[in-house]
Structure 1
Amino acid sequence: MKAMIFAAGLGTRLRPLTDDRPKALVEVLGKTLLQHAIEHLKRFGITDIVVNIHHFGDKVLDVLEQHQNFACNIIISDERAVLLETGGGLLKAKAHFKGEEALVIYNVDVLSNIDLVKMHRYHQAHQALATLATRSRESSRYLLFNEQQELCGWTNTNTKAIRHVRPANSIQQYAFSGIHIINPALLDFITQEGKFSITETYLDLASEHKIIAYPHDQDYWFDVGKPERLAAAASFIEKNIR
């Protein structure tokens, strides 16, 4: 099983920390977010990893070289010319995933102890095209799932925007954790081009394909996309994990 780490984002929420580096190289407890992500994947035997780059991409390359790719097979998907967002970035790297049964996708700005082997077994057992790690937490944007945990819509609670893509007798709303497992065959169904969000792709496909939730409230999870969240994550890990 291979993985892709989304590391190309501008990190605007982390300014001024990202004024001179990409968010992938912002540190928590002496390690970059990129190193945290790679080490978490390695804990579950995943060492073939695609990393996309854009903002200060050269610095990511330098760090990988300095650390000898953290003893992994790292492939760079270069978006320094044009940032393609999550969907476009995944599609650009499509050629690297041929023949794979499953692909783990991991946002570089999340820290979690989620069990990826357990999540993969869940993905296989449900024969899903995509399995999205989710949590019951406060957010302005929620993915909506039916009683079978199948994706059936999306809503933005700030704007009141809502999109339904599959009928549901009852709806559960979860916030997306930025960790997903897909069958690479999904990439053949994508019709968008250029810059687009993978969430839009999931919603487009959910009416005819099984896109399911993997609730993981039992795990710790932090979105460290803002400076104050970096401190909260570091404090929690220091007290509870180390």
Structure 2
Amino acid sequence: MTKPRSAMVFAAGFGTRMGALTEHSPKAMIEVAGRPLIDHAIDPILSAEIPNVIANLHYRPDVLRLHLEGRGITTITEHPEILETGGGLLNALPLLGPDPVLTMNSDAVWHGPNPIGPLCSAWDPDQMDALLLLVPRDRAHGHAGKGSFTLDTENRISWHPDLVYTGLQILRTDTLAAVGKSAFSLREVWQPMIEAGRVHGLIYDGHWCDVGRPAGIAEAEAMLAAG
């Protein structure tokens, strides 16, 4: 197992699809089963004992900063503009260091084994520039669209509406600056890696719920209650 020493939690989003729920609070503070989404994201990371954890903030950052205070999480606020996933990661590199980084979205809930252990066990830096954790659509709750990827016999990823990306990955960051932008999506980082056959996927054994819309809250709570 080659476990990353640093993790990045994306928590800067506006949460506009949540409507009135994010009028006075960031999306990552919306509660699911009595706990904020940000806690559902960082608990697996802390349980995996990754020593350096960074969370990026933008919309109503003081609320999240106060909530994370004293928990060993370093926060970085994007100002004046939000930088998207790729730009946010690039902006945080001075805190994350040069080695591969684990990244996780903060708007999802997991039910099953800690997803970080299997991901770290499968990570092979000699063969991979990125390793994405995926889930079949029948175990992707709250996800309204199609999947994004499929896997070949060697578990290499290509674009196809099959498996759903969970927002959790291990990624080499040494090509981020080559994109040449301050705000950009990680899709722009993945594309040349995919073309080179260097992005692999791992299918998660448990259940996962996207909490990007208000209906996702009830779906996540039902998933957790189902056992």
Gaps of 5+ in 2: 138-143
AA partner of residue 17 (structure 1): L
1:28 matched to 2:32? The reply is yes
Structure 1 pair 204/4, CA: closer, same or farther in 2 (3 Å)? same
Q: Is 1:78 matched with 2:77? A: yes
Q: 1:40 and 2:44 equivalent? A: yes
Equivalent position SS for 2:123: helix
Following the alignment from structure 2 to structure 1, what is the Cα–Cα distance between the partners of residues 6 and 175?
Answer: 15
- 1:44 is aligned with what amino acid? A
CA contact (8 A) 1:131 1:214 kept: yes
Whether 2:223 is the aligned partner of 1:236: answer yes
Equivalent position of 1:226 in the other structure? 213
Aligned match of 1:177: 166
Q: Which residue of 1 aligns with 2:53?
A: 49
Equivalence for 1:159: none
* Aligned sequence identity (%): 27
Other-structure match for 2:12: 8
Distance 2:160 2:50 in 1: 31
Residue of structure 1 aligned with 2:102, choices 87, 99, 104? 104
Residues 122-162 of structure 1, C-alpha deviations (whole Å, 9 max, x = no match): 0127731100111221733512443322223356xxxxxxx
> In structure 2, how many angstroms separate the alpha carbons of the residues matched to 1:197 and 1:147?
27
Q: 1:92 to 1:99 in 2, by over 3 A?
A: closer
TM-score w.r.t. length of structure 2: 0.86
Range moving further from structure 2, 140-149 or 218-227: 140-149
TM-score by length of 1: 0.81
Q: Deviations over 1:48-105 (max 9, x none)?
A: 211000111121112223xx2x2x2x222211311011111111111222243x3110
User: Larger C-alpha radius of gyration, 1 or 2?
Assistant: 1
The answer to whether residue 192 in structure 2 is matched with residue 194 in structure 1 is no
Task: Give the Å deviation of 1:8.
Answer: 0.4
Query: How many positions carry a matched residue from both structures?
Result: 215
Note the alpha carbon deviations across 1:162-201, whole angstroms, 9 max, x for none. Answer: xxxxxxxxxxx3221111111333436x323122110221
